[in-house]
Chain A
Amino acid sequence: MSDLNRDIKQLIIDALGLEDISVSDIGDEQTLFGEGLGLDSVDALELGLAIQKTYGIKIDADAKDTRNHFSNVASLAAFVTAKQAA
């Protein structure tokens, strides 16, 4: 597991107050919202804020598909990496 993936999993657990779930319980490709981890749209909003704050990046509000990056941990990590490089 890459460090960034692990950090993002910990961020998800902490920001959303998930109990009885550890980083090893969240798969890199596991769907976070709806089925899968069972998070809802309010979690998506919270996670958006937490990711921006933690990594000092901004979600581009004018791009149509930003929320696609939130589908799983791997896509979030790729998004954070790309934003930090930009």
Chain B
Amino acid sequence: MNWIKLEQLLLKGHSGRAVSFDPALDHDTLRGQALSLAGGLQQRGVQRIALHLEDAAELAVALLGAWRAGVSVLLPADLQAQTRQRWDPQVDLWITQSSELQALYANPLPGAGLDLDACRLSLCTSGSSGEPKRIDKTLRQMANEVEALEQLWGNELGEACIIASVAAQHIYGLLFRVLWPLCAGRSFVRQQLAFPEDMQRVSREHPAFAWIASPALLKRMGDNLDWPALSPVRRVFSSGGALPAEAAQALHQRLGQWPTEIFGSSETGGIAWRQGPGLWQPFADVQLSQGEDGALCIASAYLPPGHVEHSADAVRIEADGRFELLARLDRIVKLEEKRISLPMLEQALEAHDWVLEARLGVVRENRASLGALLVLSDSGLFALREHGRRTLTQTLRQHLSQHCEALALPRRWRLLRQLPLTSQGKLAQAQVDALLLAPRPKQPEVLSQNQLDGVWTLRLAVPPDLAFFSGHFPTTPVLPGVVQIDWAISLGQQLLDLPPRFGGMEVLKFQQLVRPGDEIELTLGFDPQRSKLHFAYRHGDAACSSGRIVWAANDNLGGSSDIKEPPHA
């Protein structure tokens, strides 16, 4: 196979050199289309375009054509309304469908080499402050990187068809499934294949193949696959996020090879790689150092000359230059390889009328998703009382969906009366995560308690997120009477010297509903002669409920009720 340098892909056509298929595309046709697009863009005086194309071959045409015409290219991470709005002032034209691409073809420009420093690409990702950030790259940076990849793995991949489960819109997919195969003369599959079955079906159609995948897919490949048929895979690349050790181990067992993990970022491109558990090996063109905060600092041929990128990944670097990744130093998290800025989403939540304060964390279950701790505003509490928890969380998810992809929408919500901030006004991420894992409360929060002449008066806050509200009732949460009795009993047992056995209940009255977030007053008094606990709940001036609970010191049950066991909510 003949390597064509990235900047020389449009110099002359090579008919018969495969690029992609379904429909088939060879290098000569790809070049023709790219030059036609270049002609069309130049004719229209376009200077800057944004590209979002699912078909990797079309993306290749669009990129090369734009660069040939001297047009700079922005690759937005998604097509969310907010994303389009944000970048729109910086581009003249959006190309998001093949019809839009083809409509631009005009008289082709002549073939020519591309200027390594003038051709530009911008990627979009979340910055550490939460603001989406734009990362500019030159063609030279990308050319250096694909050449390094070919040096490392080209011989072994040979004529493998490149099959990918990741989008070409991000740096990893762009380099590994589009630019590298284009230069190497390897064919690649146009579509991103999200499911293991699709990867298997397409793999079987090719005598030699390699996978450009991510942990989202690799950790979910099941026993239903024909592993012996897949084991000829030349190499399995994984990037975009951490691959769990068990997933790597399972692939090793089934395929007889460890997946090749690539560690990198949109800012830096590839930094290091490893195969199997162990330390990360930096790419040859990468120089690493460590900042005062312990973070990995990167200089490389894939970054602008002289630039040192200070990452937010804490590392331990060995004497031989290999390193171990420790932890993230900022509040950017990865969910299924998508970089999510927690501060950005928290700000978006706090911009909603119903939310006073919000903190987000990652809940790791079968799949990792975000969880939100919220302190509701008065209008938020009103919405919860009038419409229920589901309407509240659905509305907030809807609100957030303008700011992020569906994947980042919190799945778990915990409504708190206040955030447990330290005196410095901080809330450690570990505590946010712990609060998200905790079950919803079943007890009231006791704000104060006083005793006068044997009668206890307690001020109680009814947690807005009380577990009982979901079923009672889904759209109008009210505190169940049985829970009120249960609280009276358990608080009475804590504060008063009650006999051991529950005997029954008398003169129960429920007069007014108690709702999420209410602050109520509970009085508890024990009449030892009659062995009865008197309880009464009030909300402001209004009586909510009252009754007497009968206790028996022995088997001689008192009271008029037949109930022999305390009620359990």
Contacts and interface: CB of A to CB of B under 8 A. Distances in A.
Interface of A: 15-22, 25, 38, 40-46, 48-50, 52, 58-64, 66-67
A62 B411 contact: no
Contact of A58 (B223, B369, B413): B223
Given A19-B393, A20-B394, A64-B201, A44 B194 contact: yes
B388 to A, nearest CB: 8
A75 to B, nearest CB: 16
A40 B407 contact: yes
A41 B196 CA distance: 12
B224 A20 contact: no
B412 A19 contact: yes
Given A19-B411, A20-B470, A45 B389 contact: no
Nearest to B216: A42
B225 interface: yes
A53 to B, nearest CB: 9
Q: Which of B197, B226, B470 has the most A CB atoms < 10 Å from its CB?
A: B197
The 8 closest A-B CB pairs, nearest first, are A20-B390, A58-B224, A61-B197, A45-B220, A41-B194, A61-B200, A59-B224, A42-B336
Q: How large is the interface on B (under 10, 10 to 19, 20 to 34, 35 or more residues)?
A: 20 to 34
B390 A21 contact: yes
Interface in B481-504: none
B272 interface: no
B439 to A, nearest CB: 12
A61 B196 CA distance: 8
A60 B197 CA distance: 8
B325 interface: no
A17 B411 contact: yes
Given A45-B195, A61-B197, A62-B200, A17 B365 contact: yes
Nearest to A65: B197
Contacts of A64: 201
Interface in B262-298: none
A66 B197 contact: yes
20 contacts: A16-B411, A17-B366, A17-B369, A17-B411, A18-B411, A20-B389, A22-B474, A25-B390, A38-B397, A41-B194, A42-B216, A42-B407, A43-B367, A50-B366, A61-B196, A61-B224, A61-B225, A62-B200, A62-B226, A67-B195
Contacts of B397: 38
B256 interface: no
Nearest to A53: B222
Contact of A17 (B225, B226, B393, B412): B412
A60 B368 CA distance: 27
A63 B197 CA distance: 8
A60 B336 CA distance: 25
Contacts of B223: 52, 58
Contacts of B200: 61-62
B363 interface: yes
A6 to B, nearest CB: 17
A45 B216 CA distance: 9
A41 B397 CA distance: 18
Nearest to B335: A42
B198 to A, nearest CB: 8
Contact of B224 (A21, A44, A52): A52
B329 interface: no
A11 to B, nearest CB: 11
B173 to A, nearest CB: 15
Given A42-B407, A62-B201, 20 more contacts: A15-B366, A16-B367, A17-B365, A17-B412, A19-B411, A19-B412, A20-B389, A20-B394, A22-B474, A42-B216, A42-B367, A48-B195, A49-B220, A49-B222, A59-B197, A59-B224, A61-B226, A62-B204, A63-B197, A64-B201
Contacts of B95: none
A61 B223 CA distance: 10
A25 B397 CA distance: 17
B149 interface: no
Nearest to B226: A61
Contacts of B406: 38, 40
Contacts of A45: 194-196, 216-217, 220
Contacts of B366: 15-17, 46, 50
B454 to A, nearest CB: 43
Contacts of A21: 390
A44 B194 CA distance: 9
Given A21-B390, A61-B225, A46 B197 contact: no
A56 B9 CA distance: 51
Contacts of B413: 19-20
A63 B406 CA distance: 29
Residue from A22, A45, A59 whose CB has the most chain B CB atoms within 10 Å: A45
Contacts of B390: 20-21, 25
Nearest to A67: B195
Given A17-B412, A62-B200, A64-B201, A52 B222 contact: yes
Contacts of B411: 16-19
- Quick one: which of B204, B406, B413 has the most chain A CB within 10 A? B406
A78 to B, nearest CB: 18
A69 B136 CA distance: 43
Interface in B408-423: 409, 411-413
Contacts of A50: 366
A64 B198 CA distance: 8
Nearest to B336: A42
A16 to B, nearest CB: 7
Contacts of A49: 220, 222
Interface in B351-381: 363, 365-367, 369
B254 to A, nearest CB: 13
A46 B397 CA distance: 21
Given A16-B367, A19-B412, A40-B406, A67 B197 contact: yes
